[in-house]
Structure 1
Amino acid sequence: MQFVEPSLLWGALAVSIPVAIHFWHQKQGKPLPWAATQWLIEKQQQQSRGLRLDNILLLICRCLLLGLLAVLLAQPILSWFTKPPIIQKLHLVQPSPAVSENFKFELTDAQKKKERVIWADERLSRIDDKSSDMPKYAAFSPLQLQTAINRLDTKNTELHLYIANNQTLASLPAITVPARFRLHTVIDSVSQPRPYLTGKNGRKLFVNRAGKLTSIPLLDPTLKFRSTPAHSGPIFTLLSYRNERERQTVKAALNALTDVYAVDLIVDEAPQPNRSYAWVLTDQPPAKPSSQTLYIVSGAETSEKEANIVFTNESLTPQTSDRAATGQLPEWLGTQLMRHYSLVFNHQPLSQLDLKSLFISSAKPTTAQQAGLQDALLLLFVVLLLVERWLALTKNA
């Protein structure tokens, strides 16, 4: 028998409580000699030896109630009459040259054993000997990793995940994985070329060694950059707000962003024909969002998460938003834009403790696996509770 929450079985130690109470009530008081009953002392002593049978039954019933309650809370799973499933290994690989090269031996060995080896991309492309083309990703985000894991059929499989260990993994509070899971990480020690943007007057926008956004005429010669910018030309931006005050507040924040960092923004307050927008700021969720466009949606909340859609539950006005009231709105909007173009650059590895707390198993048994046993134990608990109440009321104990 297996348990979903085996730690709750420690609650069975509570059976010592009714035992202690039982013996406390059975404790004899200090005898007081009385002349009228001196001839009954011997008879009385003979009747009070040991414990009465009805009290023992009540004690057993109460102990069984507490023990059964602990078992119910631990959620037992009865698998005595079911055959153990055949577990197959599934290998999910981050599209990265550093990852694929570091684990080349393990992945090749898995392919020889006819185990599934796939890329963690949108199509879940299978890696085989004939076609090993790596999907091209400008930046691999934890959200893409979570999406790939969610699309996998992990029933009766053992997931082996191969990823690069860096701080970008912590951009999600947790990554959900199946119960049978093994993590293989590699620290990419090769200096990766940094992305950058070209702003107004040819100024270059990039994150410097201190992790701060910098806008200077020339790239830092001590750093390695990509051969082309992450985005070429002006960034066409659309403001689509029903609230005029919010539109003016966001427009002022964008102007401040342009003045400080020379971001080349062309802002439209109404859609222009034959123009594709790279940045849309609105108070309405997009009906048909484009994967190439960054959306900032204010005054809305949703459980859905998309890498290019940022929701905020407040309207971006000084009266309704702390960011706007304290002057932090331009910085916040700039951070979202930099993340969209992957300018946030951090390849420092996470500690093993951080990795362990980041990947959380959410595998729970299905209702069919435990419904029958849970119902039987619950019925037994109710019957025992009725018997215990009947004995307690009948015997006045």
Structure 2
Amino acid sequence: MQFVEPFLLWGALAVAIPVAIHFWHQKQGKLLPWAATQWLLEKQNQQSRGLRLDNIALLIVRCLLLILLVVLLAQPVLNGFQQPPAIQKVHLVQPSKTVADNYRFELTEARKKGEKVVWADDQLNEIDDKLYTFQPSNRFSPLQLQTAINRLDSKNVELHLYLVNSRKLADVPAISVPAKFNLHTVVDSSGQLLPYLVVRNDRKLFVNRTGKLVSVPTLDPTLKFHSAPTHSGPIVVLLSYQKAQEQQTVKAALAALTDVYALDFSVDEKPVPNRSYDWILTDKIPSRLSSQSLYTVSGVEQLDGQGNVTFTNESLTPQTSDLAATGQLPEWLGLQWVKHSSFGLTNAPLSPKDLQSLFVPTNKPTAEQHAGIQNALLVLFVGLLAVERWLALTKNA
């Protein structure tokens, strides 16, 4: 027998509760007025040895009720009498020329072995000898991928999934896949121009193939970039906080960004007339907004505003902000600037860690397996509950 939620079985320890209540209830004596008490004086003075268990049947039924309830919540699956089915290898391929070109050899070999090779489309069309006999879909999305996976018999399948590694996959919280699962991804940089920044010492800041932000002397020659940087030269910043501690904390976070990514900041702590700022960090809602500037406003409840305004309800000090206390403030501020700089992160690939957390293997039982044992245990639970009520009323316990 297997359980869908085996950790709930720890709840069986609660069986100690009715046992403890039973012993405690027995110790509570009941005074009964009786005129012949004097004749029982000798019997009353005798010591009672050991513990007497009264209403043992009722105690056993109550313990069984608790154990049965825990088993029901753990959702058992009875599959010991079934022969394990044959596992079929299925190769599910995103309808993409890049994927077909990159994994042509693997897919051809799989077809020669008689394994199932299909496109991840609505009909799960099989791939023939000509890998290009398909209509590439610009509408391919994580939801369409999940629908294709759900059409497979997840318990009898070893799934090999072939995809373009794109941040668009993370549009959903998770993608459920069979327990036996292998992921094959490729980064599609064809026809995709990536943005970059020129930072201190003429270093280039961009998102690399693994989805990480890097600052290196030269651009990656295997990727295609825009002909000109999104931004070059110092980033003109205005810090305008009422609290000196918050001002110093944010200033130190910007210095950390300079150390790690060589971002060059020109910081003013008081506004300079007729000077335009690339980034304004403040704890006050600005009366006038510039579409060219990024605003990071702290200590303010989340408001609906323009895309270049970020709100946080925390004051950015170690005492009031988890970001500052845990040292994550520089990374968070850097992310705000990267988004504002139109870095095109939606087209950047996911890191291996992000991919691993996105695809969640599941081994759900069939509806017949799950419903059969659940219904039988539910009937047994109701029957035991009726027996417990009958014993409790008849024995006044």
Instruction: Calculate the TM-score normalised by the size of structure 1.
Output: 0.53
Q: Please, which runs of 5 or more residues in structure 2 have no aligned partner?
A: 30-36, 198-205, 207-224, 230-290, 292-302, 308-342
1:118 and 2:118 are equivalent in the alignment: yes
Partner of residue 131, structure 1: 130
3-state SS in 1 of match to 2:90: strand
Partner of residue 51, structure 1: 52
Q: What aligned pairs does 1:1-397 form with structure 2 within 5 A after superposition?
A: 1-27=1-27, 38-41=41-44, 45=47, 49-52=50-53, 54-96=54-96, 99-100=99-100, 103=103, 106-121=106-121, 124-128=124-128, 130-133=129-132, 135=134, 137=136, 139=138, 140-152=140-152, 154=154, 156-177=156-177, 179-188=178-187, 191-194=189-192, 208-209=195-196, 220-221=226-227, 346-360=346-360, 364-397=364-397
1:194·1:345 contact (CA, 8 Å) conserved in 2? Answer: no
How far did residue 375 of structure 1 move?
2.6
1:194 and 1:59, CA in 2 relative to 1: closer, same or farther beyond 3 A? same
1:55 and 1:123, CA in 2 relative to 1: closer, same or farther beyond 3 A? closer
How far did residue 161 of structure 1 move?
1.1
Report the residue type matching 1:209 in the other structure.
Answer: Y
How many angstroms apart in 2 are the aligned matches of 1:377 and 1:123? 39
1:150 and 1:209, CA in 2 relative to 1: closer, same or farther beyond 3 A? farther
Further displaced range: 367-376 or 66-75? 367-376
1:149 and 1:370, CA in 2 relative to 1: closer, same or farther beyond 3 A? closer
Report the residue type matching 2:112 in the other structure.
Answer: K
Instruction: Calculate the TM-score normalised by the size of structure 2.
Output: 0.53
1:90·1:117 contact (CA, 8 Å) conserved in 2? Answer: yes
1:113 and 1:184, CA in 2 relative to 1: closer, same or farther beyond 3 A? same
How many angstroms apart in 2 are the aligned matches of 1:394 and 1:123? 63
How many angstroms apart in 1 are the aligned matches of 2:75 and 2:360? 20
2:160·2:184 contact (CA, 8 Å) conserved in 1? Answer: no
How far did residue 116 of structure 1 move?
0.5
1:105 and 1:37, CA in 2 relative to 1: closer, same or farther beyond 3 A? farther
Partner of residue 299, structure 2: none
1:192 and 1:155, CA in 2 relative to 1: closer, same or farther beyond 3 A? same
1:35 and 1:370, CA in 2 relative to 1: closer, same or farther beyond 3 A? same
How far did residue 169 of structure 1 move?
0.7
1:148 and 1:372, CA in 2 relative to 1: closer, same or farther beyond 3 A? closer
How far did residue 62 of structure 1 move?
0.9
How many angstroms apart in 2 are the aligned matches of 1:222 and 1:146? 38
1:134 and 1:7, CA in 2 relative to 1: closer, same or farther beyond 3 A? farther
Moved over 6 A (4+): none
Report the residue type matching 2:196 in the other structure.
Answer: R
The alignment's C-alpha RMSD in Å is 4.0
1:121·1:135 contact (CA, 8 Å) conserved in 2? Answer: no
2:166·2:349 contact (CA, 8 Å) conserved in 1? Answer: yes
Report the residue type matching 2:384 in the other structure.
Answer: L
1:7·1:74 contact (CA, 8 Å) conserved in 2? Answer: yes
1:388 and 1:37, CA in 2 relative to 1: closer, same or farther beyond 3 A? same
How far did residue 69 of structure 1 move?
0.7
1:91·1:161 contact (CA, 8 Å) conserved in 2? Answer: yes
How many angstroms apart in 2 are the aligned matches of 1:61 and 1:152? 44
Report the residue type matching 1:39 in the other structure.
Answer: E
3-state SS in 1 of match to 2:55: helix
1:166·1:349 contact (CA, 8 Å) conserved in 2? Answer: yes
Give a deviation string over 1:173-194, Cα, whole Å, max 9, x none: 33343x3341413352x74322
Taking every aligned residue pair, what percent have the same amino acid on both sides? Answer: 55
Give the aligned length.
Answer: 258
How far did residue 360 of structure 1 move?
4.3
How far did residue 137 of structure 1 move?
3.2
Report the residue type matching 1:84 in the other structure.
Answer: P
1:26 and 1:114, CA in 2 relative to 1: closer, same or farther beyond 3 A? same
